[in-house]
Amino acid sequence: MNVPLRNRSQLLRLSALAIALPAALYTLPSNAAPEKARSGKVVVETVCAGCHETGKDGAPKIGDQAEWSKRASVGLGVITRNAITGVRKMPAHGGNAALSDLEVSRAVAYMVSGGKAIDPDKPYSSPNQIAGGNLVKARCSECHTAGKDGAPKIGHMEDWKPRLKNGVDGLVSSAISGHNAMPARAGMANLSDADLRAAVIFMAVQPKPLAK
Ligand code: HEC
Ligand code: HEC
């Protein structure tokens, strides 16, 4: 193929990007459990017991198997999703946005089984409720368009590349727990891990700033 030099270097740059980016984004399995994921027992004792020990505001009590079985009859997946997004007086992520969906799902399994559930080996896959691009436009772009307080800018590969060196999972966990001026779960405690993940990937791959 006889490509003019200028186009060839563009082509090379593009194909280097095309190889480097997906590699960085997909080196780790998509729902890999962060290594530090806490067990259901630990999460229940440190976070959920505050309400579920005493049944505060009508929280199903730990050990009340009849009540848990009734709740779980709609499916463990449904009540886990409710624990992630929050339902009535049950706060999203048990009021601790830095808990991953996997940790919440382990805690639910622990309470539903009366402490008998051993932590699932297979990673929990969070429900996707909002498309990455929509979430970015509705929320993330507020800081990530102009780079407010040092936020990596959408459409600026050079801002994202060094951050991607630990793979996309590192970025997702850091967006979950928040750091510096980046609020935990972007300040939306009811976002699932899957939604955050989709938004992170959407931002990291934009070749240019989003159209207004
Ligand atoms: C601030 C109090 C509070 C904390 C902390 C809390 N919960 Fe709850 N939870 C509630 C209340 C109240 C309900 C009952 C909501 C309802 O059905 O009206 C509830 C209900 C639930 C349900 C049943 C949801 C359904 O659809 O029936 C699950 C599952 C649950 N909580 C999981 C958890 C987990 C896991 C944690 C810890 C990570 C946690 N909760 C921490 C208050 C709390
Ligand atoms: C209130 C402003 C603000 C909002 C809203 C916001 N971010 Fe951020 N974000 C920041 C700032 C500031 C940083 C840079 C923090 C640092 O590294 O010092 C950042 C960094 C990040 C990083 C890089 C983390 C790392 O470890 O390098 C990711 C990923 C991220 N944000 C994802 C998101 C997603 C996804 C959304 C929307 C759901 C979002 N952010 C919404 C301010 C925001």
Cα-to-centroid distance, 66 and ligand 1 (Å): 16
pLDDT, tens digit (0-9, with 9 covering 90-100), for 68-94: 999 999 999 999 999 999 999 999 999
Q: Is the CB of 77 under 6 A from ligand 1?
A: no
pLDDT tens, 30-43? 444 445 789 999 99
CATH number attached to the domain at 40-112: 1.10.760.10
Asked if 102 and 37 touch (Cβ cutoff 8 Å), the reply is yes
Q: Looking at residues 8-34, what average pLDDT do you find?
A: 47
Asked whether the predicted pLDDT for residue 212 surpasses 80, the reply is no
CA angle 204, 209, 210 (to 5 degrees): 95
Give the pLDDT of residue 85. Answer: 95
pLDDT of amino acid 159:
96
Query: What's residue 124's pLDDT?
Result: 84
**∠ Cα 184 182 27 (to 5°):** 80
Residue 166 contacts residue 25 (beta carbons within 8 Å): no
Strand partners of residue 90: 87
Residue nearest to atom 1 of ligand 1 (CA): 51
Res 2 pLDDT > 80: no
The average confidence (pLDDT) of the chain is 86
Asked if 109 and 39 count as a contact pair (C-beta separation under 8 A), the reply is no
Q: Where are the domains of the chain?
A: 40-112, 128-212
Q: Ligand 1 pocket: which of 87, 90, 105 to mutate (most atoms <8 Å of CB)?
A: 90
Query: Who lines ligand 2 at CB under 6 A?
Result: 135, 139-140, 142-144, 148-152, 163, 171, 174-175, 179-183, 186, 196, 199-200
User: How far, in Å, CA of 49 to CA of 46, rounded?
Assistant: 7
Tell me, in angstroms, the distance from the centre of ligand 2 to residue 144's CA: 7
Q: Classify 4 as helix, strand or coil.
A: coil
Class for the domain spanning 128-212 = mainly alpha
Query: 83 CA distance to ligand 2 centroid (A)?
Result: 24
Q: How is the chain split among helix, strand and coil, in percent rounded to 5?
A: 60, 0, 40
